[in-house]
Amino acid sequence: MDVIDLLMRHRSIRKFTDEPIDDATIDRIIGAGFAAATSSNLQGATVIRVRDAETRAAIAELAGGQTYVETAAAFFVWCADLYRSAMACDMAGGTFEPGVTEHFLIATVDCALAAQNAVVAAESLGLGICYIGGIRNDPATMTELLDLPEQVVPLFGLCIGHPDQDPALKPRLPLSVTLKDETYDDSSDREGIAEYDEQMRGYYLERTGGKLDRVWSADMSALLGKESRPHMRSYLDGQGFSFR
């Protein structure tokens, strides 16, 4: 499939068949992930494949009952990792400086870039994926389950498997809103968002057989109008990320 067509056809898959994925294919997918760009060659991402059924069930539960964590052929936790970099500092006879905000940002960006590379690789093979941000509902338990050291943060999970559904494409905001020319000109953004709201209303009504009447702007109001996962600040402190 043409690469741009592949990217434009991305969907989250939440129902998978029981067909397995062989380890060689997994290695190709994750290897393609780590071929992504990395700032200063930090390579600040680590992936943990979770195979144990009990661990996956526990993760599914803490992520809000997302059962596809259990049913996907493969499940991974993507982590921002400065622990390995600290080890490298020690090997070189240097000193690792914890709590530097820029270093954490590099690691999180590295992780996202690598994961998306892996997603594109998986989808190019006809597989389906679903990101699981719900693992941040309880990052402390995730840390215990995966035995993560300090300077490692679980950012999101990733289900990969053979699709057992064919969901409609979810519309995205128009480029008239998200692509700016030279400066941040928002003069037509409200109009563009209003048009997009109607697209999303139609998408949700069709997807749910008329049961869900929802628009993007209301979703954003619900999401951003309250505190979200307030435990993350204290958790990051406990993992050695006291930012400065």
Residue 113 DSSP SS3: helix
- Is 151 a member of any domain? yes
pLDDT, residue 144, reads 98
Co-location of 125 and 201 in the same domain: no
Pair 75, 145 in one domain:
yes
Give the rounded percent of residues in the chain with a pLDDT score beyond 70: 100
> Are residue 28 and residue 78 in the same domain, yes or no?
yes
220: Cα separation from own chain's centroid: 18
- CA atoms of 12 and 73, how far apart (whole Å): 15
Q: Can you give the pLDDT at residue 101?
A: 94
Report the pLDDT value the prediction gives residue 145, as an integer from 0 to 100. 98
What integer is the mean pLDDT of 203-222?
95
Is residue 243 a part of any domain in this protein? no
Whether 163 and 180 share a structural domain: no
pLDDT confidence tier of residue 1, bands split at 50, 70 and 90? low
- Any idea what DSSP says for residue 242? -
Structural domain includes residue 212: no
Say what the pTM is.
0.94
Looking at the structure, tell me whether residues 162 and 43 fall in a common domain: yes
Please report, for the domain that includes residue 22, its CATH number. 3.40.109.10
For residues 102 and 10, state if they share a domain.
Answer: yes
pLDDT value, residue 69: 98
Does residue 126 form part of some domain? yes
pLDDT of 244 higher than 90: no
CA 61 to CA 83: how far, in whole Å? 28
**Does 222 fall in a domain?**
no
Q: Could you tell me the two tokens for 123?
A: 């989808």
Strands 45-49, 152-161: parallel, antiparallel or unpaired by DSSP? Answer: unpaired
Letter for the amino acid at 143?
Answer: T
pLDDT, position 242 = 84
Q: What is the CA radius of gyration of the chain?
A: 20
pLDDT tops 70 at residue 33: yes
Q: For the chain, what is the domain count?
A: 2
pLDDT tens digits, one per residue of 127-169:
999 999 999 999 999 999 999 999 999 999 999 999 999 999 9
Whether 111 has a pLDDT exceeding 70, the answer reads yes
d(CA 181, CA 8): 22
Q: Which two tokens stand for residue 35?
A: 């071929």
Q: Please list, in sequence order, all residues whose beta carbon lies within 8 angstroms of the beta carbon of residue 149, skipping any fewer than 6 positions away.
A: 83
Regarding whether 147 and 32 lie in a shared domain, the answer is: yes
213: in domain: no
Q: Is the pLDDT of residue 7 over 90?
A: yes
Residue 181: how many CB atoms within 10 A of its CB? 6
Q: Which helix (H) or strand (E) holds 78?
A: strand 74-81
Q: Are both 147 and 192 inside the same structural domain?
A: no
Task: Decide if pLDDT at 206 tops 70.
Answer: yes
Q: Taking the chain, what is the end-to-end CA distance rounded to the nearest angstrom?
A: 45
Residue 83, domain extent: 3-167+227-238
Arithmetic mean of pLDDT over the chain: 96
Residues 194 and 114 in one domain: no
pLDDT value for 190: 97
The reply to whether 188 and 132 lie within a common domain is no
Q: CA 103, CA 81: separation in Å to the nearest integer?
A: 10
Q: Take residue 200 and report the two structure tokens written for it.
A: 């999303």
Task: Give residue 107's pLDDT.
Answer: 97
Give the angle 142-80-56 at the CA atoms, nearest 5°. Answer: 30
pLDDT, residue 243, reads 83
Q: Is the dihedral of CA 144, 149, 155, 157 positive or negative?
A: negative
Residue partners of 20: CB distance under 8 A and separation at least 6:
73
Tens digits of residue pLDDT in 38-89: 999 999 999 999 999 999 999 999 999 999 999 999 999 999 999 999 999 9
Q: Is the dihedral of CA 83, 85, 91, 92 positive or negative?
A: negative
The pairing of strands 152-161 and 128-132 is antiparallel
